[in-house]
Amino acid sequence: MKPIVIGNWKMNITSQEAKVYLGTFLRKLEVLKQAEVTLCPAGPVIPTVAQMLEGTGVAWGSQNAHWEERGAFTGEVSMEILQDLGCRLVLCGHSERRKWFKESDFEISRKVEQALAHNIVPVLCVGETFDERKAQKHEVVVIEQVRKGTERLSNIPALALIVAYEPVWAIGTGQAIEPEQAWEMARLIRSVLREVLPSGAESVPIIYGGSVNEINVASFVDGDAISGVLVGGTSLDPEKFHQLIAQLI
C-alpha cells in the first residue's frame, strides 16, 4: 500500500499563494505518484487547488464540514458541497476544532457518518492533551474518542475511514513524540477498531500527526502500525513537503 500523506494547510495560503505553491510542488510528479497525497486547503481555496491538481494523481480534501445535509447553518459547508468539488477526504474532529469550536464527539460522529454518505473518506482525528498525557489518561481519552467517533458507522456498508492519531502536545510545537509512543497508541486504536468495527477494522489506515517534518517522517511510518502522516507546518513549504514525501517512497 502506498504511504498516505495529508497536508493540512489550516488557515494559511490564499488562492494566489496556492498557485505559486503548486507551481513548485507539482514539478516532480513521479515522486508524488508513489504516495497517496492529499492537500487540504481552506474551503474557499479548494476550487483553485482542485483545478490545478486535476489529472495529477494528487487529491484534495477539506479541513472540516457540517454534519447536516443542507439547511440554515450560516457560514457552514456541507459534505454535499465538498463532494461536488471532488474532495477525496475530510478531516473530522481535528484537535483545533475540538478546542476552539468546542466540537463534541457526538458532532464528530455525525460528520464521519455524513462524509461516508457522500463518498468522502472521513479522517477521524484523535489525540490527548499534554495534561491528559501527564495524568496518564491518554489511553482512556483516545479509546473514548475512537469509540464515540465511530459509533454511527455500523450502518455504513462500504467502509472507508482513516484514523489520525495527533497528540495535541505535539501539534505545532516542533516537538514530535517518539515513534514508539506513536506506534503504541496506533496499536491501541487498532484494538478499539476491532471491537467497534469487527469486519472492517484491519483495513482502516492509522496515520500520525504532530510536528512531522522531512527529517523525522520516515521514523513514524513503519508500514505496519502507522501507514502515513498528517502534516501541518511542513506542508506549507512546497519544497520541504515534497522532500518529506520523497522520504517515504
Q: State the catalytic residues.
A: 94, 166
- Residue 184 Cβ vs ligand 13P, minimum distance, rounded to whole Å: 19
Q: Is the distance from CB of 211 to CB of 174 less than 8 angstroms? A: yes
* Shortest Cβ 10–ligand 13P spacing (Å): 7
Residue type, 153: L
Q: What secondary structure does DSSP assign to 130-156, as a single string?
A: HHHHHTT-HHHHHHHHHHHHTTTGGG-
Q: State which residue, 18 or 212, has the beta carbon closest to ligand 13P.
A: 212
* Closer Cβ to ligand 13P, 129 or 196, answer by number: 129
Comparison of 70 and 102: residue with beta carbon closer to ligand 13P: 102
Structure-block grid coordinates of residue 42: 481552506
Residue nearest to ligand 13P (CB): 232
Q: How far is the CB of 132 from ligand 13P (least distance, A)?
A: 17
Q: Which is nearer to ligand 13P, 93 or 197 (CB)?
A: 93
In DSSP terms, which residues pair with 208 in a beta bridge?
165, 229
Buried b (16+ CB within 10 A) or exposed e, 139-161: eebbbebbebbbbbbeebeeebb
Min dist CB 40 to ligand 13P, Å, is 8
Closest to ligand 13P by CB, 172 vs 223, is 172
**Using H for helix, E for strand and C for coil, what is the string for 36-83?**
EEEEECCHHHHHHHHHHHCCCCCEEEECCCCCCCCCCCCCCCCHHHHH
Q: How far apart are CA 131 and CA 139, in angstroms?
A: 13
Question: Closest distance between ligand 13P and the C-beta of residue 229, in Å?
Answer: 9
Which residues sit at the interface with ligand 13P, rule CB under 6 A? 8, 94, 166, 171-172, 209-212, 230-234
H or E element in which residue 180 lies:
helix 179-196
Cα-to-chain-centroid distance, residue 116: 15
